[in-house]
Amino acid sequence: MEQLAIELGNTWGPKVLAITLAKCESEDEVIDILKKAKYWDDDTAWREYGDNENNFSVIGNQQSSPDAALVEKLVNSVDAVLMKECLIRNIKPDSKEAPQSIAKALMDFFRIHEGKLSSLDASIRNELAKNIYLVATGKRSIPNYMIIDKGEGQTPNALPNTILSIRESNKIRIPFVQGKFNMGGTGVLQFCGKHNLQLVISKRCEQVRSDDSSKDYWGVTIVRREEPKEGRRSSKYTYLAPDRKVLRFRSDDLPLIPKDGQPYKSPLKSGTFIKLYNYTLSGALATNIVFDLYNRLSLLMPRIALPIRLVECRDYKGHTLETTIAGLGVRLEEDKRQNVEDEFPTSSKIRVNGKPMKVSVYAFKEGQDEKYRKTEGVLFTVNGQTEYFDILVQSNR
């Protein structure tokens, strides 16, 4: 890491810091770099997340499972890409001229028939998935995960009010995005190692009009959890912001996108890069990203709006180190002839608290359901995400 700093200018300027932190593969490496850059022990260089000293109770209660928390990050990236497509057309996202549903946005922005990813050939989905990446790096037993999107991106000035905010109603009036409440992005923090470190690098898409004076700059910061001290009763989350400003620098692009199974090889010109260090996933979910985690994410995002490219960059061998996730719905649609009983799926509507709810029912051929689920029998979904599931009770035929 020190050699990289020498190659890039022999200083811990913001650009060097951003690239160096992006390439760190453990929490300990990150802390070592921040200490050398004279930031880690300087309390004045850190700003409270959401400008809220009591943010620990809010952030710590977002998600109870690391896989569901990861989904929230991916959904935010999907939203960022949809937002970019709206903004580059000079359409206000919360106006009547904007698409009034996710399906309409997919039809308008990407010409996807009826807004269904199942209508696209796999090759087209793979190309579309290059807008959003989930990348695994680090050690097999202690992985890091990078979420990279070519979406709208944020300016350094805007980051405190967007990605680094809590409870801001940024998307609540936008009808074509999946996330709504500006809360899910913090759910991952409690699963990031001992100090809950998360790196954020972002740049506003140049095609999006902006009066922000920092629109041509990349912003870089890192989130951490601070232990209680000086009479404070609980921990708190802070992010690097010397003089309360997110660090910034100019650059045409940064080498942050993977290529041919290797991380940090292709340029990201704008958008957002997030890295979660020492992320805690249990059992098989922490192994090769294209297997158990792929299946789990498909279940948790049955109707994801845009496909996502999964790339495994740890030292696994074999030809299957990349794949595209398009949700459980697409998998079931494409595999139904081999795995689903004839005349299924069926659909109907029921009323819950006076409101209609669409129900889809799949009947699997004997033994074929294990490819798609474990014990889940009923999935309750909102905006394409699984919000809750119930256990299937097996009965003898």
Query: Mean pLDDT, to the nearest integer, of 144-151?
Result: 98
Token readout for 332 is 């079931």
Residue whose tokens read 């793979």:
126
Q: What is the pLDDT of residues 214-231, one digit of tens each?
A: 999 999 999 999 999 877
In the structure, how many helices (H) and strands (E) does the chain have?
A: 9, 16
The rounded distance, in Å, linking the Cα atoms of 194 and 162 is: 25
Give the pLDDT mean for 250-272: 97
Check residue 223 and give its pLDDT.
Answer: 98
pLDDT on residue 383 = 66
User: Does residue 235 sit in helix, strand or coil?
Assistant: coil
The DSSP-derived string for 142-167 is SEEEEEEE-SS---TTTGGGTTT-SS
Percentage of the chain lying above the pLDDT 90 cut: 68
Label residues 134-159 b or e (16+ Cβ within 10 Å = b).
bbbbbeeebbbbbbbbbbbbbbbbbb
Tell me how far apart the alpha carbons of residues 241 and 158 are, in angstroms, rounded to a whole number. Answer: 13
- What separation, in Å, do the N-terminal and C-terminal C-alpha atoms of the chain show? 61
DSSP-assigned states of every residue in 300-351: H-TT-SS-EEEEE-SS--SS--EEEE--HHHHHHHHHHHHB-TT--EEEEEE
Q: Is the pLDDT of residue 394 over 60?
A: no
pLDDT at 384: 65
pLDDT over 50 at 4, yes or no = no
Helix axes 102-110, 66-87, angle to 10 degrees: 50
- pLDDT for the residue numbered 6: 43
Lowest mean pLDDT among 57-61, 83-87, 130-134, 209-213: 57-61
pLDDT digits (tens, 9 = 90+) for 187-199: 999 999 999 999 9
Whether omega for the bond prior to residue 175 falls within 30 degrees of 0, making it cis, is: no
Supply the pLDDT for residue 7. Answer: 44
Q: Output phi, psi for 206, to 5 deg.
A: -70, -20
Report whether 202 contacts 273 (CB < 8 A): yes
Q: Extract the tokens encoding 217.
A: 């700059």
Nearest Cα neighbor of 200 from 218, 177, 179 is 218
pLDDT at 375 exceeding the cut of 50:
yes
Greatest mean pLDDT among 88-102, 178-192, 358-372 lies in 88-102
Confidence (pTM): 0.91
Residues sharing a CB contact under 8 Å with residue 376, sequence separation 6 or more, in sequence order: 299, 389, 390, 391, 392
**Least confident interval from 156-160, 165-169, 249-253, 358-362:** 165-169
More confident position, 84 or 303: 84
pLDDT of residue 392: 54
Per-residue pLDDT of 61-106, as tens digits, reads 777 789 999 999 999 999 999 999 999 999 999 999 999 999 999 9
Q: Is the pLDDT of residue 137 over 70?
A: yes
Report how far apart, in Å, the C-alpha atoms of 121 and of each of 84, 127, 337, 349, 383 are: 24, 10, 17, 30, 23
The pLDDT score that the predictor gives to residue 208 is 96
With cut-offs at 50, 70 and 90, classify the pLDDT of residue 380. low
* Domains of the chain listed by start with CATH number: 2-325 (3.30.565.10), 328-391 (no CATH)
Looking at every residue in the chain, the average pLDDT score rounds to 88
Q: Are strands 262-268 and 254-259 parallel, antiparallel or unpaired?
A: antiparallel
Spatial separation of the C-alpha atoms in residues 88 and 82, rounded to whole Å: 10
pLDDT score for 395? 43
Percent of the chain with pLDDT over 70: 89
